Structure 1
Amino acid sequence: MRELVGKVAVVTGAASGIGRALALRFAAEGMTLMLADLDYGGLAETAALAGDAKVLTQITDVSDAAAVAHLADRCFGELGAVHVLCNNAGVYQGGHMWTRTEEDFAWVLGANLWGVLHGIHEFVPRMIEQGTEGHIVNTVSVAGLFAVPGAGAYAVSKHAALAASLALAQDLAAVGAKLRVTALCPGAVRTRIADSARTRPSGLAATPSQDEADSLDQVGRAAESGIEPSDVADLVVAAIREERFLVLTDQKYAARLRLQTETLLTGDLPSYQ
């Protein structure tokens, strides 16, 4: 899908970070935008920054199937089509595997996995029916490739998001659809990932633990020294045009992935360094 001008892009998690950068990059390409998030103020700021682009916004909890269905209905009803879908909304949950509660997993899987699955279910059939070229971008994270200490719940959700992306891409290819898929696997990016709890529903509240606090501190420091979200957005637009499935924000991850595979094939535990 090389031509983006005049096309429609949907971005979840668009109030800040990578989502905002994607929205602004698509706006610069001349696309019409449907932006979704739980943060009303941040969503309005992104829309204002999009300049002359046509922008619709909607408060959406991607973990809620009905909310995503409503988002899709509005997109196709008011904009007539969707050509790029970015299932980008996500949250971070730190802490050891054995200290994470059912509420922790429900929250992180709700956003990071079910948000992707709901997006696929509600948008992809209608995108196929359009009969036009299109692209689905799922924000996975390098945590979907590597599991590191202190981030088990997050890694579980992101490994599952990668599997969903692979399965979607294979299914689309098998039926001859004109849609392509990108699994976006960024490392450290200057976002508010360490402040994910600001969107956590009160019904899934949990008492913070020290291991969780330590993980959040580490992730926050990594984000501060990470790349700019706009750099990630540039990589995504290039991947859409080149129909590339896997996008890494640092080529050191490619070498690390090869080493991990080789280590696993020997039956050993890969190093997280």
Structure 2
Amino acid sequence: MRELSGKVAVVTGASGGIGRALAVRFAAEGMSLMLADVDPRGLAETAAMVSGVKVLTQMTDVSDAPAVHHLANRAFSELGGVHVLCNNAGVFQGGRMWTRTEEDFAWLLGVNVWGVLHGIREFVPRMIEQDTEGHIVNSVSVAGLFAGPNLGGQAVSKYAALAASQSLAHDLRQVGSKLRVTALCPGGVRTGISRSERVRPADLAVARTRDDLFSQEWLEALVEKGVDPAEVADATVAAIRDERFLVLTHASYERSLVEQTATLLDGGVPGPPDYE
């Protein structure tokens, strides 16, 4: 998909970070926007940062199927179609596997997995029916490639998001669709992901544990020295144009993937990468 001007992009998790950077970058390409998030203030701030294109916003909890259905209805009816779908909304929850509660997994899987699945189910059939070039970008995270200590719940959700992305790419090719897929796997990026608890639903709230808080502090240090979200948005646009499936934010992850495969084939347990 080489030409973006005049097309329509949908971005979830658009109130800040990578989602905001994607919105700004797509607007610079001349794309109309449908922006979604659970944070109304951040969503409005993102919308105010773009000009010269049509921008719609919608409060949307991506873990809620009817909410995503409504988002899709608005995008197709009010913008005339959708050409780029970014299932970008995501949350972080750290801690050891045996300390994570049902509420923790319900939250992680609801946003990080069901958010992607709802987006696929609501948008992709209609995008196929358009019979135009298009692209689905799923924000997976490097946690979908490497399962490290204190990141078990996160890895479970993100590995699932990667599997969904890969299977979707195969399914689309099998039916001869013009749509393509990118799995965006960022590592350290200057976003608010470490403060995910601020948007956690009250009915899924649980007491914080020491290992959970340790993981949050680790992530805060990681994102503080991370790359600019605008760089990730630039890489995403390049991937859309080049029809590239996997996008990494750090070159060291390529080496880590090779090392991980070798360790697995040798019967060992792969170590975590240098998350950077």
Instruction: Output the amino acid matched with 1:229.
Output: P
The percent of aligned pairs where both chains have the same amino acid is 68
Show the counterpart of 2:180: 180
Partner of 1:56, secondary structure, is strand
Offset, 1:235: 0.1
Offset, 1:271: 1.5
CA–CA distance in structure 1, aligned partners of residues 200 and 131 of structure 2: 38
> Is the counterpart of residue 190 in structure 1 residue 198 in structure 2?
no
CA–CA distance in structure 2, aligned partners of residues 68 and 271 of structure 1: 37
Instruction: Output the amino acid matched with 1:123.
Output: F
The correspondence of residues 175-254 of structure 1 with structure 2, limited to 5 A, is 175-254=175-254
Offset, 1:225: 0.4
Cα RMSD for the two superposed structures: 0.5
CA–CA distance in structure 2, aligned partners of residues 42 and 215 of structure 1: 25
TM-score (norm 2): 0.98
CA–CA distance in structure 1, aligned partners of residues 252 and 151 of structure 2: 20
Partner of 2:147, secondary structure, is coil
Instruction: Output the amino acid matched with 1:60.
Output: T
TM-score (norm 1): 0.99
In the TM superposition, what whole-angstrom CA distance separates every residue of 1:172-220 from its partner, at most 9, and x where no partner exists? Answer: 0000000000000011000001100111000001110000000000001
Offset, 1:27: 0.2
Offset, 1:232: 0.1
Show the counterpart of 2:74: 74
The correspondence of residues 66-215 of structure 1 with structure 2, limited to 5 A, is 66-215=66-215
Show the counterpart of 1:43: 43
Instruction: Output the amino acid matched with 1:78.
Output: E
Offset, 1:35: 0.1
In the TM superposition, what whole-angstrom CA distance separates every residue of 1:45-104 from its partner, at most 9, and x where no partner exists? Answer: 000001222100000000000000000011111111000000000000010000000000
Structure 2: unaligned runs, 5 residues or longer: none
> Is the counterpart of residue 257 in structure 1 residue 257 in structure 2?
yes
Partner of 2:231, secondary structure, is helix
CA–CA distance in structure 2, aligned partners of residues 271 and 180 of structure 1: 31
CA–CA distance in structure 1, aligned partners of residues 248 and 169 of structure 2: 17
Partner of 1:57, secondary structure, is strand
Structure 1: unaligned runs, 5 residues or longer: none
Provide the aligned length of Structure 1 versus Structure 2: 273
